Amino acid sequence: VNLILITADERDERGEVVLADRRAEHLRSVLKIRPGQSLRIGQINGATGTGMVKAVDEHRVVLRCVFSGPPAQRPPVDLLLALPRPKVMKRLWAPLAALGVGRIILTNAQRVERYYFDSHVLDPAFYNAQLQTGLEQAMDTWLPAVSVHRQFKPLVEEELAGLVPDALRLVGDPAGPTRIAAELQATPQPRILLGVGPEGGWSDYELDLLQAHGFRRVGMGPRTLRTDTACIALIALCLDALP
Amino acid sequence: VNLILITADERDERGEVVLADRRAEHLRSVLKIRPGQSLRIGQINGATGTGMVKAVDEHRVVLRCVFSGPPAQRPPVDLLLALPRPKVMKRLWAPLAALGVGRIILTNAQRVERYYFDSHVLDPAFYNAQLQTGLEQAMDTWLPAVSVHRQFKPLVEEELAGLVPDALRLVGDPAGPTRIAAELQATPQPRILLGVGPEGGWSDYELDLLQAHGFRRVGMGPRTLRTDTACIALIALCLDALP
């Protein structure tokens, strides 16, 4: 943990926060903090700052918080992801938040199994905790917005434009002809909406629908990668290509 | 599994292979193969080809193998990695092989705990199985060469030049000033040796020693990433930047 995250409503009117959960435990047992020390803190979807340790006991840690850093910035990449199997999705949340993603749009697709949607990894309490782990690692405060869509067609045709306006739309495709940087050079945009398909790939119908709605196919060589590896690699390429 | 991997010594003089392990189990239970079907196969560190199913029973699968594809190509990126904690290393093997890495050089560093070296994740039987999972996923046959080095200084000063001659040497550094593509443009090379430090970062001494031996610092923004995320992201950037 490189940053202690708090929410806006945890702060009282004097700017004090009382921690009594795993954060307090981590501060006591791992970081072995003492009164008077200062810690790097961040407010979820808010600014970063400094927390001065006012008191530590076996039940709680009291911090006096000053937020002097810049406000949270929405990372310039959003992700449209065909829901991977629960085991893969489980370990993908934290890296996505750590790399920095503005919005995570999970969708059904022909090669997504229905039962994936019943997994506890889609429970907001579960994924927000995982996302926060990634933010604590990367020292960021932007909690990605998450939405889950069981129907691909209305998502692409009707909802996507509202969720992510004004972004270069790219879809990863092992057979894709061009590179992310080349697409961005041809059509400069400040943001990218990146589509990543199921491990078996998008169906022809899905790829056609995406292309009909402005997505351009971008490749990363002929290798078939597991969804988590592909997401991390493609997001890294997007972030590197953006100004 | 997108490719069935076999070793050279599994083939008899007629080109037949008898599988009786997890591969046979996978072919029977998951792919439900039948005699007469053809499968994509690959010989470790050799060519890809086709395996025609000759026989299937509850104990074994017999394939007649023809290797017609190109021989294995050493991927153009090698990795010098400060050994991460066992839990992280465990899940990194397969993605490294899937992305494609020629050689994996694991090293000690000041911020690497000694006990990491005693983990079973450094047992060749364990990591070769993990690496093969990555190859099966990515349909590649190049098994990365792995070496483990408990002393950083002699590795960098004496051994590295022999392990990886003729590569652009880059070291990932959150504070690094330049981008991978820019370094490669300034000094074109067909291969990259990529250094990735411990989660706490290289010490000043280590970074100085690396720079004295030709490594240039490359950045990927100010975020601190977990070692596995950083490796995947940086390797993707290297592969994308190489010709």
* Shortest Cα–Cα distance, B233 to chain A (Å): 5
Give per-residue pLDDT as tens, B45-79. Answer: 999 999 999 999 988 999 999 999 888 999 999 99
List of chain A residues whose C-beta atoms are within 8 Å of the C-beta of residue B236: 220, 232-234, 236-237
- Quickly tell me which residue has 């099966």 as its tokens: B136
The two beta strands, B48-56 and B38-43, are antiparallel
Distance CA B91, CA A96 (A): 16
Mutate to test the interface with B, among A2, A220, A240 (most CBs of B within 10 A): A240
Distance CA B14, CA B38 (A): 17
Distance CA A151, CA A161 (A): 15
Residues A15 and A150 sit within 8 Å (Cβ to Cβ): no
Scanning every residue of chain A, which has its alpha carbon at the shortest distance from the alpha carbon of B223?
A138
What is the three-class DSSP state of A88? helix
* Furthest-apart CA atoms within chain B: distance in Å: 61
DSSP for A126-152 reads HHHHHHHHHHHHHT-----EEEEES-H
A221: left (phi over 0), alpha (psi -120 to 50) or beta: left
A62: left (phi over 0), alpha (psi -120 to 50) or beta: beta
What is the three-class DSSP state of A218? strand
Distance CA B26, CA B33 (A): 9
Scanning every residue of chain A, which has its alpha carbon at the shortest distance from the alpha carbon of B92?
A229
User: H/E element holding A163?
Assistant: helix A160-163
Structure tokens at B226: 């977990």
What contacts B1, CB < 8 A, 6 or more positions away?
B23, B26, B30, B31, B136, B137
List of chain B residues whose C-beta atoms are within 8 Å of the C-beta of residue A174: none
Sheet containing strand A192-196, strands side by side: A145-149, A103-107, A77-82, A192-196, A168-172, A216-218
The answer to whether residue B12 scores a pLDDT higher than 80 is yes
CA distances from B52 to A20, B27, B61, B70 (A): 62, 12, 10, 19
Distance CA B102, CA B96 (A): 10
Among B152, B135, B128, which Cα is nearest to B208's? B152
Asked if A98's CB is within 8 angstroms of B226's CB, the reply is yes
What pLDDT score was predicted for residue B126?
97
Question: pLDDT tens track of chain A, all 243 residues?
Answer: 789 999 989 999 999 999 999 899 999 998 899 999 999 999 999 999 999 999 999 889 999 999 998 889 999 999 999 999 999 999 999 999 999 999 999 999 999 999 999 999 999 999 999 999 999 999 999 999 999 999 999 999 999 999 999 999 999 987 777 899 999 999 999 999 999 999 889 999 999 999 999 999 998 788 889 999 999 999 999 999 998
Residues B10 and B17 sit within 8 Å (Cβ to Cβ): yes
Burial of A65 per CB tally in 10 Å (0-12, 13-18, 19+): buried
Half-sphere exposure of B236 (CA within 13 A, CB side): 28
What pLDDT score was predicted for residue A220?
79
* Shortest Cα–Cα distance, B139 to chain A (Å): 7
The shares of helix, strand and coil residues in chain A, as percent rounded to the nearest 5, are 35, 25, 40
Asked if B234's CB is within 8 angstroms of A232's CB, the reply is no
In the DSSP assignment, the letter for residue B117 is G
* Shortest Cα–Cα distance, B170 to chain A (Å): 16
- To the nearest 10°, the Cα dihedral for A222, A225, A230, A236? -60
List of chain A residues whose C-beta atoms are within 8 Å of the C-beta of residue B95: 225-226, 228-229
What pLDDT score was predicted for residue A97?
98
What pLDDT score was predicted for residue B199?
86
List of chain B residues whose C-beta atoms are within 8 Å of the C-beta of residue A223: 98-100, 138-140
What contacts B196, CB < 8 A, 6 or more positions away?
B79, B80, B81, B82, B171, B172, B227, B230, B231, B234
How many whole angstroms from its chain centre is CA B222? Answer: 26
- Quickly tell me which residue has 């893969």 as its tokens: A88
- Quick one: pLDDT band at residue B174, thresholds 50, 70, 90? confident
Amino acid type, A10: E
The two beta strands, A38-43 and A48-56, are antiparallel
Among B239, B59, B206, B88, which Cα is nearest to A236's? B239
Sheet containing strand B4-6, strands side by side: B4-6, B38-43, B48-56, B61-66, B16-19
Mean pLDDT of B175-195: 92
Scanning every residue of chain B, which has its alpha carbon at the shortest distance from the alpha carbon of A3?
B224
What is the three-class DSSP state of B89? helix
What pLDDT score was predicted for residue B34?
94
Query: In B, what residues contact A, Cβ < 8 A?
Result: 2, 91, 94-95, 98-100, 137-140, 179-181, 220-226, 228-229, 232-237, 239-240
* Shortest Cα–Cα distance, A50 to chain B (Å): 18
Asked if B221's CB is within 8 angstroms of A239's CB, the reply is yes
Percentage above 70 pLDDT, chain B: 100
Distance CA B194, CA A141 (A): 29
**Count of CB atoms situated within 10 Å of the CB of B197:** 26
List of chain A residues whose C-beta atoms are within 8 Å of the C-beta of residue B223: 98-100, 138-140
